[in-house]
Structures are given as C-alpha cells and as structure tokens.
Structure 1
Amino acid sequence: MASTDRQALHRDVPVPGHGLDAAGMPGHWLLARLGKRVLRPGGIELTRWMLDALGVDPRDRVVELAAGLGATARLTLGRRPATYTAVDRDAAAVATLSVLDAPGPTVVHAVRSDAANTGLPDGCATVVYGEAMLTMQPHPAKRRVVREARRLLDEGTGRYAIHELCLLPDDLDPALADRINADLGDAIHVGARPLTPRAWSELLAEEGFTVTARRTAPMALLEPRRLIADEGLLPALRIAGRALRDPVALRRVTHMRRVFQRHSAHLGAISMLAVPTPDQP
C-alpha cells in the first residue's frame, strides 16, 4: 500500500470512543481523543522492558490482547516477528490496527474479539501479552483472560506477559484497597480492580503459569515528565492544548490526575513475564 494511501486510512479511522460524550466516556478513550497514544500505567519504558523480557524475535508468533491504539504493536513490529495478531473488541481500534505498517516479512492480522474468547486456534502463538486490561476486569474475568492466553500459547516456547496497575504493598489494608478502587472508578468511569504484586503472581499461578521476571514502576501516567517521555515534547504540548480548549475534558483529566496523586503511595505499575508451568506427571 502506498504511503499516501496509508496516511489517508489513518486519518479516516476514528479513535475508539468516537462520538461518546467527554463527561461520561472511559478515561483512557478520553485521553486518546486528546491525542495520547501511550495509555499504559508504567509508560513506554515499562512496555519496552516487557518486550525485552519476552525476547520477541523473527521466529515468534505474537498475539496482543486488547491492543488498543497500536502504540505497543508498533514497538513489537519493529522486532520483526513472523506474525503479529492484534485482538480488540472495539471496531475503531481494529480498524486502526489493521492498517499498521509491518517492516520486513511480518504478517499482520487484526481480530475483533474478546480477550477471554479470541476464537484463535490452540497453540497458535509463541508470545502473548496484554497491557492495562486485566485491571479493568472483575476477578473471574481476569482468570478467563489469563486462561485464554495459556490456551493460545505453544507448549514448548510460549511466553506470556502482563503490564498492569498494582496496589502497594502486598499487605495493603483491604479497606484502603476498596477506597482506592472506588476513587479510580469514579475518575476513569471504568471499574478498576488492580491487585498487589503477590496477588497478580497468584492469579497467574492459578491459571497454569510460573512468573520468571517482574518489574514495577511509578504510576505517573498524567505527570508532565512521563507525558513527555511517552509521547514526545510537541505531542505532549498538543495534548495539553486540546485539554485546555475543552473545559469538560480538562475537568476529567484534572480529576484523574488528582486521584492518581492522592493514592501515589499505594498505586504503581507492574509488568510480569511468565511461562506455562509444566504439567505434573
């Protein structure tokens, strides 16, 4: 496809959440409407650590769950895997992902489906990952998504990674955890249910995985320094300018940032690398 054709396609594809009211739409789609492309709690730095830990290379068949706007997809495609399949249930996200450029011979697919029931074949992937999506699910749904990742992975070479919000420390008072979850839900208009690092590990273990590496980072999604690091200086200024021109969006973003700051001592980002636990004889 010619470059001009690709650019036209990108202009014509709406951002997920297109047409929704700024006052009530999910926070991540509001930020996307303002131009933010990196919507991961640990920022692009933790995403890069995750991809390094996964060791994606030209032999890999990669599946990304809830791929969103394609920010991580582009980093993955830069590693030239054999195949890359994006799964997302939002039609606008799938349309965006379907026109991604793939350097070299990588075959790209975009599938409109739920992360817990992708419809992809058993063992079709050597790498599966998902970011900022398990946090938004109740515990039974979290388990279904992780179980689906386990089903998709090749038994011999499979690796799975997550990049999510986490609650700190491991022995956080449950009442405080509930209050943080309620404040997050009020700010981002999505039910957020982050887990402690130990609870994330237990979730993966319950569904047949062994955690082999992990890293945490501050939850600084809307802090100026992180915004510039993730988006670049000029895009960050454009995001700020759009927010300043939209009073409803500005109130929402300000509220989200205040909630993140209020709970900064107990909110973080975590990425974990896991491999299928061998079946016991």
Structure 2
Amino acid sequence: MASTDSSALRQNFPVPGDGLDATRMPGHWLLARLGKRVLRPGGVELTRWMLDALGVDPEDRVVELAAGLGATARLALARHPAAYTAVDRDPTAVAALSALAAPGPTEMRAVRSDAADTRLPDGDASVVYGEAMLTMQPEPAKRRIVREARRLLDDSTGRYAIHELCLLPDDLDPALAERITADLREAIHVGARPLTPTDWTDLLADEGFTVTAHKTAPMALLEPRRLVADEGMVPALRIAGRVLRDPAALRRVLHMRRVFRRHRAHLGAISLLAVPTPSKA
C-alpha cells in the first residue's frame, strides 16, 4: 500500500472544515487541520486492539463507517482484506480516502454516504467498524447507525466493533455525567454524548448484537506521551509548532486539554467487539 501521511493529504486535499474559523470549528477537524492523523479517543493502541479483535484477514469484506481521513483505513488495508469500503458523508474525506492505494488484490472504494443509511447491500460485509462517531450522535441516531451495521453484516461470519468515548464507572452519578457531557460539548463544539461501558453494551444488544470482548483505555488524546505514540516524534513536534503559531488554535487546544484533564477520572475510551445475536427459532 502506498504511504499517505497527513501532510500529503493536506497538500492534495483540503481538510474538512478548513474554511471555518478555528474558534468555531469542531475540535476533531481543528486537530486534523493542525496535522493530527489519529483522532480516536483511545489512540492507535486501542485501534490496533480493535482490528486484532476483529481478526481482519484476506477473506474479509470490510466496511468502515465515518472513515475520516484514513488513519485506520491504512491499518485495515495493511491486513489485505478481500474488500474494503470506506463510508463518509464529507466529500473532502471521501476524496482523501479514494486516494489511498489498496494492497494486492484488495478491492477498495470510498463512498459518500451517511453511516445510518449507507445504501450498501444487505449482508455483504463480514466486518463493520466505526470509531469516534457514535459518541457524537443523540441516542436515536446511535441506534440507527448500529442497526445499519447489523443490516450490512453477514449473519454467520459477521463481526462489528466500535471505538468510542465512555463514562466511568458504570454507576456514575447522573448529574456528574451530565456536567461532563456539557463540558465536552462546549470544548469540542460537537454534541458529544458518551455512555458507560454497560450502556454501550446494552445499546448494541438492543440492536441485535452480542458483545464478546471489550477494552478500555485512558482518554489522553492531547497528552504529549499519547501524541508521540500516535503520531511519531517528528510529526508531534510539527503539530506543536503549528499550535504555537496560531493563537486561536492554541486557546482551543488548551481548553480541550483542560476539560479532558478535569474529567480524566470519569472519562475514558472503550472498544467493544460484537457479533450478530442468533435469531430465536
């Protein structure tokens, strides 16, 4: 597979939200504009765990929902699946994803569509996953997306995984949960609605899945150690340099980091692996 880093993507394609004011744009697109490739709450380590748990192999037909700029796509393609389809509703993201080169015989395509209504064939995928996207949806939309994932999966071999923000512990006081959610919304300018591990499990169960494995990780997206682990030392230094040269971006990034740190005892990342629940006879 051809290597496509964030700087190359920025040279050939604008980053989604590039035309927006740094004070107003969603936090994840601001970070992308600054050069950050990995925009997942548990970092590349939890993404790798997710792909390992899914067991993606050359027999699989993979669908990635809300694939963004392709950080996870490259990891999935490196496993040489039979087919890989990236779904995203942003035309800029679709253009960037279309530029990725597929290895060997992998059939690859990127389609502009909504994760809740992909218009892809029923039961045509053996693997479906999505990261850092269900958290941003209200409950009805969460359910529509999970339901769509269930529709796409083959009943016998299908596996589904998510990688999202979570609230900890399961018995977190509802008032504190609401305060954390409100702080997140204000900091990242997106309506984040994370769930507890049990609530994520129940959501998947309600929509036809059985969770078979899960893993949690700290929410350390903007911590220096995670930044270096996810991006590499040189790219991390470049990102830091861009932040320091942009006062508006610096204020936003520092504010997001303060919110993440303030709630770090109760805010984490989670990945869950699930399989379709057998229909009752």
- Shorter-chain TM-score category? over 0.9
CA contact (8 A) 1:85 1:109 kept: yes
What's the CA shift string for 1:218-255, capped at 9, x where partnerless? 00000000000000000000000000000000000000
Q: CA RMSD in A?
A: 1.6
CA contact (8 A) 1:83 1:108 kept: yes
Shift of 1:10: 6.3
Shift of 1:71: 0.2
Shift of 1:12: 2.0
TM-score normalised to structure 1 length:
0.97
Cα distance in 2 for partners of 1:74, 1:183 equals 32
What's the CA shift string for 1:45-79, capped at 9, x where partnerless? 00000000000000000000000010000000000
CA contact (8 A) 1:80 1:104 kept: yes
The corresponding residue for 1:236 is 236
The corresponding residue for 1:57 is 57
Cα distance in 1 for partners of 2:208, 2:150 equals 7
Shift of 1:147: 0.1
What's the CA shift string for 1:1-25, capped at 9, x where partnerless? 9999xx9886221111121111100
- Call closer, same or farther: CA 1:3–1:132 in 2, change over 3 Å: closer
The corresponding residue for 1:266 is 266
The corresponding residue for 2:252 is 252
Cα distance in 2 for partners of 1:29, 1:231 equals 16
Secondary structure of the residue aligned to 2:226 is: helix
- Call closer, same or farther: CA 1:55–1:237 in 2, change over 3 Å: same
Cα distance in 1 for partners of 2:9, 2:192 equals 33
What's the CA shift string for 1:132-151, capped at 9, x where partnerless? 00000000100000000000
Cα distance in 1 for partners of 2:28, 2:8 equals 25
Structure 2 unmatched ranges of 5 or more: none
Secondary structure of the residue aligned to 2:165 is: strand
Shift of 1:124: 1.2
Secondary structure of the residue aligned to 1:108 is: strand
Amino acid at match of 1:129: Y
Cα distance in 1 for partners of 2:222, 2:241 equals 14
Q: Report matched runs for 1:129-148 at 5 Å.
A: 129-148=129-148
CA contact (8 A) 1:10 1:96 kept: no
Q: How many residues align?
A: 279
- Call closer, same or farther: CA 1:272–1:208 in 2, change over 3 Å: same
- Call closer, same or farther: CA 1:3–1:251 in 2, change over 3 Å: closer
The corresponding residue for 1:170 is 170
Shift of 1:178: 0.4
Matching of residue 86 in structure 1 with residue 86 in structure 2: yes
Amino acid at match of 1:204: L
TM-score normalised to structure 2 length:
0.97
Secondary structure of the residue aligned to 2:151 is: helix
Cα distance in 1 for partners of 2:8, 2:240 equals 25
Matching of residue 17 in structure 1 with residue 17 in structure 2: yes
CA contact (8 A) 2:2 2:100 kept: no
CA contact (8 A) 2:2 2:101 kept: no
